[in-house]
Amino acid sequence: MKSALQKPIGDAPGAEGRFRRTLAALGMEGEDSTRTSSVSYASFNWIRIVFGIVLIYDAWTSLSWQHKVASAQALGLPISSPVLHLLVIVLAFVELAVALSIMSDRGVVPMSWVGIGYAGFVWIVFQHGGDFGQDGTDPGVALPYIVVFVFLIGVQRLRTDPDVTKNEMLTLARNGFGLLWGYDALLKFQPYFLNHFTDFLTSAQADMKGTLTASYDQFFLAVTNIMGPHLVAVLVALTEALIAASLISGRGLRIMAPIGFLLSFAIWSTAETWGGPYSLGVSAEAAQLFGAATIYMIAFFYIMTLYNPLDLLRKRLRARG
């Protein structure tokens, strides 16, 4: 977690200085330049635009009737409650404002902090801190949003200071993402997940019955049954633990980040049924687009840009040359 380079941080004023000193005390002073790839602010622009599109879609779907019904159930309010409708409209407006800021690349840092507050509010009020049941496999979809917002803040700093060794926000985002994966892994080691792994696939297959996706899920289910459901569940949990360790330590990310991305894609396209159904034009809850795994993939885009896997190939080609 600690950067290889030490630097003075006492010159940071006020609350920002205290925040930076706190991160430094935790060993998060910046990235190790001997491990990261050569990047600039422009390297991450496309990820910012993708995330902005995600937020715009979220804001639109949050105004649907189905979403209001889900919100009413989460809050314990009747669907006719004026408070419910006002809250939904205000949250949609806030998310749209954040999205437009990110898309236009104007005021990204302050609006990212607003986004962090928004996602935290959704996580506590709507998702009840994860709202865990025995089949819970992640601590709530709003937390990955917070990680991406922190990445946005860190990348914005590259506009004025391209030195990643002084960018504690990128390190905070990486470590926060690692802790998220570590917690995911702990949930995967719970008896319910290990003993009911195929239930997640069969449930998704039933939801998408009669579609090409159902056949796609059937392929994964067949492979799982051949290997043994319990073994596959253990391998998934162990893989998530290794991804978490790599993210927190900052080591091996050129290998583990692509693995994490592919695992997230596999979860999104099977157990999360591609985040569907889309025919309703809705999301299941506030701060959700195509499923939690989609936001994990966006976070991995940041990691794979900062720790470019292609560097391994270039290094091998240079060694041969």
pLDDT at 11: 47
Rounded to a whole number of angstroms, the distance between the first and last alpha carbons of the chain is 34
Contact at 8 Å (CB) between 304 and 296? Answer: no
CB atoms within 10 A of CB 245: 16
Rounded to whole angstroms, how far apart are CA atoms 33 and 297?
Answer: 24
Residues 193/184, Cβ–Cβ less than 8 Å? no
Q: What is the DSSP letter of 286?
A: T
Contacting residues for 132 by C-beta, under 8 A, at least 6 apart: 139, 187
The predicted pLDDT at position 203 comes to 75
Cα–Cα distances (Å) from 64 to 79, 113, 284, in that order, read 12, 26, 10
Give residue-wise pLDDT tens across range 90-147. 999 999 999 999 999 999 999 999 999 999 998 888 887 775 655 667 787 889 999 9
Instruction: Transcribe 134-201 into DSSP letters.
Output: TT--SS-THHHHHHHHHHHHHHHHTTT---GGG-HHHHHHHHHHHHHHHHHHHHHTSHHHHHSHHHHH
DSSP 205-221: HHHTTTSHHHHHHHHHH
**What's the confidence (pLDDT) of residue 142?**
86
Please report, in tens digits, the pLDDT of each residue of the chain (321 residues total): 444 444 444 445 566 778 888 887 777 888 999 999 999 999 999 999 999 998 998 888 888 777 788 788 888 889 999 999 999 899 999 999 999 999 999 999 999 999 999 999 988 888 877 756 556 677 878 899 999 999 999 999 999 999 999 999 999 999 999 999 999 999 889 888 888 888 877 876 666 666 666 777 788 888 888 999 999 999 999 999 999 999 999 999 999 999 999 999 988 888 777 765 454 444 445 445 556 788 999 999 999 999 999 998 887 777 776
Q: How is residue 231 written in tokens? A: 């073994």
Residue 131: what pLDDT? 58
Backbone phi, then psi, for 258, in 5-degree steps?
-60, -35
Instruction: For residue 32, give Cα distances in angstroms to 105, 163, 275.
Output: 27, 10, 36
Structure tokens at 32: 């190790």
Q: What is the pTM of this model?
A: 0.88
Tokens of 266: 């596999």
**Residue 258 contacts residue 192 (beta carbons within 8 Å):** no
Grouping H, G, I as helix, E, B as strand and the rest as coil, residue 267 is: helix
